[in-house]
Homo-oligomer: A and B are copies of this chain.
Amino acid sequence: MSKMKPSPISPLAPKKFPKLPPIAGVSFGVAATHSYYKGRDDLLFMAFPQGTKCAGLTTRSSMPSAAVEWCRAHLPQGQARALLVNAGNANAYTGKAGAKHAESLAKTAAHVLPCPLEAVFMASTGVIGKSLNLPPLTRAISKLEPKLSAKADWQKAAQAIMTTDTFPKMATCKVKLGKAEVTLNGIAKGSGMVAPNMATMLAFFFTDATLPPSVLRILLRDAMPSSFHAITIDGDTSTSDTILFFATGQTHHGAPIRGAKDARLRGFRKALHALMHDLAQQIVRDGEGISKFITVKITGAKSNLSARQIALSIANSPLVKTAIAGADANWGRVIMAIGKSGEPTNRERLKLRIGGISIVRRGAVLANYNERPVARHMQGRHILIEADIGLGKGCAEIWTSDLTHDYIRINADYRS
C-alpha cells in the first residue's frame, strides 16, 4: 500500500480544467478498488459500440508490461469495444502470471459487456514488478458494467488513471469533418519516468468520427514528434507507455474516408495535433517536483535527429535542470550539455539565447552581455533556451521540467 503523501498541485497546473462533452457511443465508469490506493478511484472502465475502430502506440522499452503486450497483440485487428485502465500497479515484469492477469481482466470485461476478447484494450500504471491484486479489479469491473454511462464525468476518468500526477489532464475540441461536426476528447496521465519515445505516460483519445484504424494510426504517428515525443521529465522511459485512439463511428460525414491523405481530414488532423500538443505539455506541467517549464529549441544542427539529441542532452542534464531550479542564469552549463551531446557542433559558430537574449558569439560571451534581463527571465515560470548550432538546417523542440527538491522527495519516498 502506498505511503506516499500526496504532493501539492503543480504551480504550473492549468488555472481551469476543460469540461469534456460526451462522445457519441462512449460510456464509462470509475471505481475505487482499494487494491493499491486508499480512498480514491483507481480503475477506469470504458465501453464502445460495435464498429469502433482503434489504433495505438506503445513503449520502446525492452521490458514492456503485460498490458502493453496485450495491446500490441490486438491492435493489428483495430476493433475496440472496451478500455480498462488501472492505476497503482503497472503489472510490468510480472512474468507469465502477469500475462494471465491481463487476460483475466480482459476476459472479465468481455464477459460482462459482452464482446470479443480481442476487442478489450487495457493499460496499467504504477509500481513495476509487483503481482496484480486481481480479485478486487475483476469484482469492480463486474460491478461497474451496469453503471457505465454516456453522461459520466470525464474529469473522474482522468483522475482515476493518475499516479504521482497532481492534476487530471484533459483536452477537448469540436471540428468539422466532411459534412458533420465531430468531437475529439483526450485524457492523459504522466508525471515522472517520462522521456521521449513514450514515457510513463498514458494518453487516450476518443472521437465519434468514422475512421479506419489505418487512418487513426497515421494521424497519431504524424503528430507525435511535436507532442508526446517532445517531452522529457527525467530521461527515464517507462515499461507501460500507451497511447490509444478510439473512433466510435457514430457520426457519419459523407463518403467513407479511406486514407489519411483525404482532404476532408485537414481540420481533424490539426485538431488532434492540438489536443496531443496540449496534453503532452500538461504532462510536463505536472512533471514531478516541477517549478519551471523549460522549452529547448535547437536550430542549425546537421539534421533533425542531431538537433533532437542536442536538445535532449540539455533537457536531461541534471546540472542544467538544477541551475534552472535555482533561477541561476548559468548558461555555461548549457554549453557543457551541448558539448557532451556527442553530436557535430562548432564552438565558434554556436549561438545561444536564453529568454530571447543573445549570450555568446565566436566561442565566447558577448562583450556587451548583460545578465540582468536573463536573470529576470530565470525568475519566471517559463524558461526558453534556444541554440543555433550553425552547421545545417536540423531543428527540434523539447519541453521539460526543472530538477528540484520535490523531485527527490517524491522519488526517494515513492513505493515502500
Contact = CB atoms under 8 A, between A and B. Distances in A.
B364 A237 contact: no
Contact of A332 (B62, B127, B234, B405): B127
Q: Is the interface of A mostly helix, strand, loop or mixed?
A: loop
A193 B235 contact: no
Interface string A402-416: 011101110111111
A319 B193 contact: yes
Contacts of A94: 363-365
Interface in A114-170: 127-131
B412 A325 contact: yes
Contacts of A131: 365
A337 interface: yes
A408 B413 contact: no
Interface stretch (A23-31, A95-103, A245-253): A95-103
A336 B63 contact: yes
Interface in A231-282: 234-239
A340 interface: yes
Given A237-B339, A339-B237, A339-B239, A93 B332 contact: yes
Given A234-B318, A408-B404, A93 B340 contact: no
Given A93-B364, A235-B318, A415-B330, A63 B335 contact: yes
Given A63-B347, A328-B414, A408-B404, A128 B364 contact: no
Interface residues of A, number: 72
B331 A62 contact: no
A230 interface: no
Q: How many copies does the complex hold?
A: 2
Contacts of A414: 323, 326, 328, 330
A104 interface: no
A357 B106 CA distance: 35
Contacts of A375: 416
A189 to B, nearest CB: 17
A90 B339 CA distance: 14
A322 interface: yes
A167 B92 CA distance: 42
A57 interface: no
Interface in A149-208: 192-193, 195
Interface in A325-378: 325-326, 328-333, 335-347, 360, 362-365, 375
B336 A62 contact: no
Contacts of A412: 322-323, 325-326, 328, 404
A7 interface: no
Nearest to A93: B335
Interface in A380-416: 403-405, 407-409, 411-416
Contacts of A342: 60
A33 interface: no
Contacts of A77: none
Given A129-B335, A335-B129, A339-B61, A322 B93 contact: no
Interface pairs A-B: 5 shortest CB-CB: A95-B364, A128-B332, A326-B412, A63-B339, A322-B411
Interface of A: 60-64, 90, 92-98, 127-131, 192-193, 195, 234-239, 316-319, 322-323, 325-326, 328-333, 335-347, 360, 362-365, 375, 403-405, 407-409, 411-416
13 contacts: A60-B340, A60-B342, A63-B335, A63-B339, A92-B332, A128-B336, A129-B331, A235-B317, A238-B336, A318-B403, A318-B411, A328-B416, A375-B416
